[in-house]
Amino acid sequence: MQTLELRNLDAVLRDAILAAHDEPIVLTEGGRPAYIIRSLADDDLADELLTSHPDFLASIQTARQQKAQGQVKTLAELREQYNSSDE
């Protein structure tokens, strides 16, 4: 993920980006929506970093393969397994 400092942008672009604090801004290319700029809360940033991390994406792919192969347990099965091991 690339980062840019707002102070390094020209004034028009910086003001437009700062306006995204109140509502998302859509950038167009050839008259068609191409990008969106929106303010990030701390949770949003953490979510974005997590969901774009290669290890996280690999774990999702593995989980999907396991599910497709029937290698999953229901929540009830897990509860039964771990409750019975406590006794």
Look up residue 67 and give its amino acid. K
Contact 1, 49 (CB under 8 A): yes
The pLDDT of residue 64: 92
Q: How far apart are CA 49 and CA 51, in angstroms?
A: 6
Query: Averaged over 5-24, what is the pLDDT?
Result: 85
Question: Above 60 in pLDDT, residue 86?
Answer: no
Question: Above 60 in pLDDT, residue 9?
Answer: yes
Compute the residue count for the chain.
87
Digit-coded pLDDT (tens) for 23-67:
888 889 999 999 888 877 656 777 877 888 888 889 989 999 998
Q: How far apart are CA 56 and CA 61, in angstroms?
A: 9
- CA-angle at 66, arms to 63 and 70, nearest 5°: 135
Q: How far apart are CA 13 and CA 68, in angstroms?
A: 47
The pLDDT of residue 29: 93
- Encoding tokens for residue 80? 């039964």
Going by pLDDT thresholds of 50, 70 and 90, the confidence category of residue 1 is low
Kindly report whether the global pTM for this prediction surpasses the value 0.85.
no
